Amino acid sequence: MFFLFVLPFVYHAFAEQVASQLNHNMLDPDPSASSPEDQLNQIASYIRSNLSDFQRQWLATQGEALNISSEQIMSDVLAEWLTRHRDATRNGNSIGDFLQEALEDFILRHHEEFLPVVAIE
């Protein structure tokens, strides 16, 4: 239930910033041309592309065990990170600037609450 509360907050906090970054790199820069679902999928894809292989594996493992999406877990991660680092988005940083650090910090702080994941090489 916490994820349902946090997801809109995270979406609103990053939607404009990520949409502008995505639109800068896309052929169609008009954000009104895509549906909200498409924009959420683009944001999820952007998030996944900025994570390490281990982090993507960790998210997939936890999501499967908890029967929730990786995006829901990331919304919790980002909400916690933003609570502890309030200036993260005010300094002109993009989500990609702190995404890996936020997830790494979350994994370290909550490692006892989640399934262990061994990096596959």
Residue 12: the pLDDT is 53
Q: Say what the pLDDT of residue 10 is.
A: 54
If phi > 0 it is left, if psi is from -120 to 50 it is alpha, else beta; for residue 92 that is left
Q: Where are the domains of the chain?
A: 2-113
Q: What is the pLDDT of residues 4-44, one digit of tens each?
A: 454 555 555 554 444 444 444 433 444 555 777 777 778 77
By the 8 A CB rule, do 89 and 82 touch? yes
Residues 51-107: tens digit of each pLDDT: 999 999 999 999 999 999 888 899 899 889 888 888 777 777 777 778 899 999 999
pTM listed for this prediction: 0.65
- Taking 70 as the threshold, does the pLDDT of residue 117 lie above it? yes
Looking at residue 121, its pLDDT comes to 62
